[in-house]
Structure 1
Amino acid sequence: MKVTHKMVDKQLRTRGMLFNLLVKKSNEEKFIASMHHSKKRMEKSFRGKDVKGLDCSEDWVKRSDGSSIRVRIYRPLHQVEDVPGVLWLHGGGYAQGLPEMSGEMYKRLIQAGDCVIVAPDYRLSIEAPYPAALEDAYDVLLWMKDNAHELGIRNDQLMAGGESAGGGLTAALTLYARDKGEVNIAFQMPLYPMIDDRMVTESARENNAYIWDTKMNRWAWKLYLGDLYGKEVPVYAAPARAEDYSSLPPAATFVGDIEPFRDETITYVENLKQNGTPVDFEIYKGAFHGFDIIHPKAKISRDARDFLMNAFQYAVKHYFAAQKK
């Protein structure tokens, strides 16, 4: 899908163009190098950074091999009990990012409805390809269930969400948790999720939009899948490959209409709906990938945030609270 400057929302154009100059890489080697550089830069700038107005803490979750996953925990300043526990998975193409990146999202979710957010510093693809990130996400989800009382959350139903690669992990996690049968996810928020490595949809082919395009998408999938790239890819790596969408949790998501993940997001939503799963979904005209993060003050970004918070409030009231009766 060829994207022209005029197709971009007017308020997003300048920010997208300027940001594009900073993040675009001309070849795969430079892209990989930029992911390593980004990891070092983010570690220096964001690691351990708290969110003003929230109770912020840190803990460690053991993996089966004895190593540990760093997790950030965000709570309201007032004491809470039996509230939703939200597992939030940061974005970054599976190759970069830290949980501290999504501080504004945590603040909005907690303001929208009392909850406790657990955000893992999952392994990145530049360090360990699939299934490392998914295993980390699942280990932390089980840890939330086992430590619900200490966290102030309920252990019978939890929520999961994330942007981009975090959205992809969210979708994968709901499939994985359903099939394992050890923990129940009440609600999912896979925002503009990265879920289809095949890149055969109209929006994914030859997409030259700002921020994230077809070339960067392909390079990121190669990093994440490792030796599996181009082979038989599991549905837990690329959820768009799934055929069974039954018994999955209600969802809320949104996507821009000019970004590579538009069509795979639409298909994911349709598959959920066809299996009777309630979904709140919006497409934003003229929006590139991650628009709400790149230009949070733009009207289109504020509209997307309002939509998500309304959907989250509804989920807390209807999908989560209903199980408490």
Structure 2
Amino acid sequence: MELERVDPTLRDAVTRMRGVGIERRLGRAIGRVAPRLVRFPRTPGVRIASARVGGVRVRTYQPARSRTDAVLLWVHGGGMLIGAPHIDDQLCTETADRLGLRIVSVDYRLAPEHPFPAPLDDCARVWTGLVERGERRIAIGGQSAGAGLAAALAQRLLDEGGQQPIAQLLLCPMLDDRTAADTARDGEEHLVWDNRSNRLGWRSFLGLEPGAATVPAHAVPARRADLAGLPPAWIGVGDIDLFHDEDVAYAERLRAAGVDVDLVIVPGAPHGFESIAADAELSRTHRAAAQAWLATRI
């Protein structure tokens, strides 16, 4: 993909992301430590705190005034390999403030040191902890790999029975290891997150090569045969994102299974643009659309 295909208002921010690689251990170490040391932009008036829910570390966002009894269980991105809840401070404080919504962001364990099911187990433990403390209306969501984990959590909870999420908010979700197995995509310049990085992420998470004949249940959301009964979903992705095809396919399969889905495709937008170029009008509009949809569900 050529840089010229990127929306002009996003190009500067996207260009700065070039050269940020996770192939080497040093790159992954920086991607894990740096987010905890950098202060990301925040919406004033939202209280941020660290806590434990279900025995798992979380980062909480409490708006000055709650306008709903619902809570959003959020999962950060990073290809299963890097990242921390801190990277979503801007998105989470903005959402908490705009909707009057409490948010709990999971500080899940990362691959390859902690492959599947450890990251998903952490999300599930936070879910259980929220339920046990009396939360009855819980939405789930995330960005990129975190959105993939949120989708997997929805599937796992459906199979386990009991309390179910009221909605799933999925920003550019990482849903299908078979994309990574398609080496023909390696030659395409998908900015921010390309297929080589994608293959490393899936390999590290699954503990096997992407595209294997079988994968563990709940490890790869797009591999699930029956999507009926899952909660309403909002899926947003750029049309030049590596995950575009798998996200559209998942949305179409959800609809075919009778699930209420809003699919938003943004022209000229690469992976994670809504955070990387957070101040661009295109990004603000995209986040507002996601938040407006969530507001109708909480």
Counterparts of 1:202 and 1:300 in 2: how far apart (Å)?
A: 31
Q: How many residues align?
A: 296
User: Relative to 1, partners in 2 of residues 1:230 and 1:163: Cα closer, same or farther, differing over 3 Å?
Assistant: same
Moved more, 239-248 or 110-119: 110-119
User: Relative to 1, partners in 2 of residues 1:258 and 1:92: Cα closer, same or farther, differing over 3 Å?
Assistant: same
Choose from 181, 185, 188 the match for 2:168. 188
Tell me the equivalent position of 1:249: 231
TM-score (norm 1): 0.84
- 8 Å contact 2:112–2:204 — kept in the other structure? yes
Tell me the equivalent position of 1:296: 278
User: Relative to 1, partners in 2 of residues 1:203 and 1:14: Cα closer, same or farther, differing over 3 Å?
Assistant: farther
Choose from 144, 156, 164 the match for 1:164. 144
Counterparts of 2:284 and 2:53 in 1: how far apart (Å)?
A: 35
Tell me the equivalent position of 1:33: 26
User: Relative to 1, partners in 2 of residues 1:234 and 1:61: Cα closer, same or farther, differing over 3 Å?
Assistant: same
Tell me the equivalent position of 2:248: 266
Post-superposition shift, 1:139? 0.5
Amino acid at match of 1:90: H
Trace 1:81-160 onto structure 2 (pairs within 5 A): 83-148=69-134, 154-155=135-136, 157-160=137-140
* Equivalent position SS for 1:10: coil
Trace 1:286-325 onto structure 2 (pairs within 5 A): 286-316=268-298
Amino acid at match of 2:198: N
- Root-mean-square deviation (Å): 2.3
Amino acid at match of 1:180: E
Deviations 1:244-272 (A, max 9, x none): 10000001121011111001100111111
Structure 1 unmatched runs, 5+: 63-67, 149-153, 317-325
User: Relative to 1, partners in 2 of residues 1:126 and 1:177: Cα closer, same or farther, differing over 3 Å?
Assistant: same
User: Relative to 1, partners in 2 of residues 1:51 and 1:130: Cα closer, same or farther, differing over 3 Å?
Assistant: farther
Deviations 1:72-125 (A, max 9, x none): 2211223x4861111000011111111122112222222332221111110011
User: Relative to 1, partners in 2 of residues 1:6 and 1:50: Cα closer, same or farther, differing over 3 Å?
Assistant: closer
Moved more, 111-120 or 210-219: 111-120
- 8 Å contact 2:240–2:268 — kept in the other structure? yes
Deviations 1:10-44 (A, max 9, x none): 112222122213x146xx4x2x4311232122233
User: Relative to 1, partners in 2 of residues 1:268 and 1:203: Cα closer, same or farther, differing over 3 Å?
Assistant: farther
Counterparts of 1:234 and 1:7 in 2: how far apart (Å)?
A: 37
Structure 2 unmatched runs, 5+: none
- 8 Å contact 1:55–1:74 — kept in the other structure? yes
Amino acid at match of 2:173: P
Amino acid at match of 1:105: L
* Equivalent position SS for 1:60: strand
Choose from 181, 202, 214 the match for 2:195. 214
Moved more, 217-226 or 108-117: 108-117
Amino acid at match of 1:56: I
Deviations 1:38-90 (A, max 9, x none): 2122233359x98641122222234xxxxx42112211223x48611110000
Trace 1:67-78 onto structure 2 (pairs within 5 A): 68-78=55-65
